[in-house]
Amino acid sequence: MIKHQKSKELVAQMLDLAEVKLDGTNPWDITVNDERLFSRLLKEGEIAFGESFMDGWWDCDRIDLLTEKIAKAQIQKKLRYNKSFIVKAILHYLFNPQTKRGSKKVAIDHYDIGNDLYERMLDKNMNYSCGYWKFADNLDQAQEDKLEMICQKLQLKPGMRLLDIGCGWGGMARHAAKNYGVEVVGVTISKEQKILAEKRCEGLPIEIRLCDYRDLNEQFDRIVSIGMFEHVGYKNYDTYMDVAHKNLKEEGLFLLHTIGNNRSVITGSPWILKYIFPNSMIPSIKQIGKSIENRFVMEDWHNFGPDYEKTLHAWNENFEAHWDEIKDQYDERFKRMWSFYLLYCAGAFRARYLQLWQIVLSKGRDSYQVRDLKK
């Protein structure tokens, strides 16, 4: 009991730095359900924050606001990483976890967990990436506007051949083929995504391949990659850009849509790595810049990171609204995990801890002009 009390005092002191109270009345305050929480946080660090929520040891009305406050106060630096995460970080530095074999883990653990879940959580065209909310007031429109903006930035024209690296469930491929008359090759490493993408793209000039990006070797007028670069890993950035450069025609354009980090890291959040996106990491400007050096000309760099907070909230609202339709396939711990993931990430974007970048690259086109979404 004395041990728990001492641990509680230490955790409370750290939370005070972020203006977060234990059992307080603000929506971002923590309601403690199990007093063992405090020693667990001090012993296991950041990963215990998410795991203890999954276990029901604490609750919070607004996890996004809690995460924002913690991120801004940089409390995570005061909590120790547990030993297993330190070992994993060292292994990330010494070895390459995103080999062709290693990269398949995220497909199995995340993207293949059930199309039923994603069909209920995402927009009608199943885009699992940040929407563009400048003109939109709902998720469907925000995702439609995002796809349209990408097509306009790529300056697509009928008859062009477009490569979509990490095509998901085919939302981008469908939009480009239907509205711009282009032929699309989409690649994914998720078997479940391929099955549903082929069904959704039926009747259009779209080919969906179960393929690692490193196996691509053909020419395309345009290349797009939306929300996939986060799975590449810093050891593979040069290889990724070499592949894009090799497969892009001399007059072509390449648009990279990725979450961005304010600082350079070599691994990701321990909780996200374990439960959501294995082997993932968020790139920085420095890391991306180094990878495109001597390969591409950077034509445009667009940041609309705050839009991801709105997107994540929309996904969470859909998830909560449709939970009863899929709850027999999962359990309560999964529900808490999934909601924590969406709101935890929303808080990171709200704090401007993370960004969302669209980067247009060329091999040196003289005529490229920056374009925003036309309405």
Q: Residue 216's CB: how many other CB atoms inside 10 A?
A: 18
In the predicted model, is pLDDT for residue 2 greater than 60? no
Q: Which residues are catalytic?
A: 345
Question: What percent of the chain lies above the pLDDT cut of 70?
Answer: 86
Q: How confident is the model at residue 331 (pLDDT cuts 50, 70, 90)?
A: very high
Instruction: Give the DSSP letter string of 146-208.
Output: HHHHHHHHHT--TT-EEEEET-TTSHHHHHHHHHH--EEEEEES-HHHHHHHHHHTTTSSEEE
pLDDT of residue 84: 46
Q: Residue 206 has which token pair?
A: 């779209």
206-233, pLDDT tens digit by residue? 999 999 999 999 999 999 999 999 999 9
Report the distance separating Cα 38 and Cα 11, nearest Å: 6
Please say if the pLDDT value at position 7 is more than 90. no
How far apart (Å, rounded) are the C-alpha atoms in residues 87 and 179? 49
Classify domain 104-362 at the CATH topology level: Rossmann fold (3.40.50)
As a whole-number percent, the residues of the chain with pLDDT over 90 amount to: 77
Average pLDDT over residues 170-191: 97
The first and second tokens of residue 250, run together, are 């001399």
Mean pLDDT value across residues 281-307? 97
pLDDT recorded at residue 158: 98
Beta strands (DSSP E) in the chain are 31-32, 58-59, 161-165, 183-188, 206-210, 220-226, 248-261, 297-303, 354-362
CATH 3.40.50.150 segments of the chain: 104-362
Using alpha carbons, list the distances in angstroms from residue 46 to 133, 171, 203, 272.
31, 35, 48, 10
Cα–Cα distance for residue pair 70/312, rounded to 1 Å: 18
DSSP 225: E
Label the pairing between strands 220-226 and 206-210.
unpaired
95 has a pLDDT exceeding 90:
no
Beta bridge partners of 253: 222, 362
Nearest to 170 by CA among 139, 137, 127: 127
The answer to whether residues 286 and 187 touch, using CB atoms and an 8 Å cutoff, is no
Task: Round the average pLDDT of the chain to a whole number and report it.
Answer: 89
Q: How far apart are alpha carbons 373 and 97 in whole angstroms?
A: 37
| Average pLDDT, integer, range 81-86 | 43
Nearest to residue 196, comparing CAs of 320, 139, 129, 112? 112
Fill in the DSSP letter of residue 257. E
Mean pLDDT, range 291-312, rounded to an integer: 97
Confidence of residue 279 (pLDDT cuts 50, 70, 90): confident
Confidence of residue 42 (pLDDT cuts 50, 70, 90): confident
Query: In the structure, what pLDDT confidence band is assigned to residue 368 with cuts at 50, 70 and 90?
Result: confident
E strand or H helix at 36: none
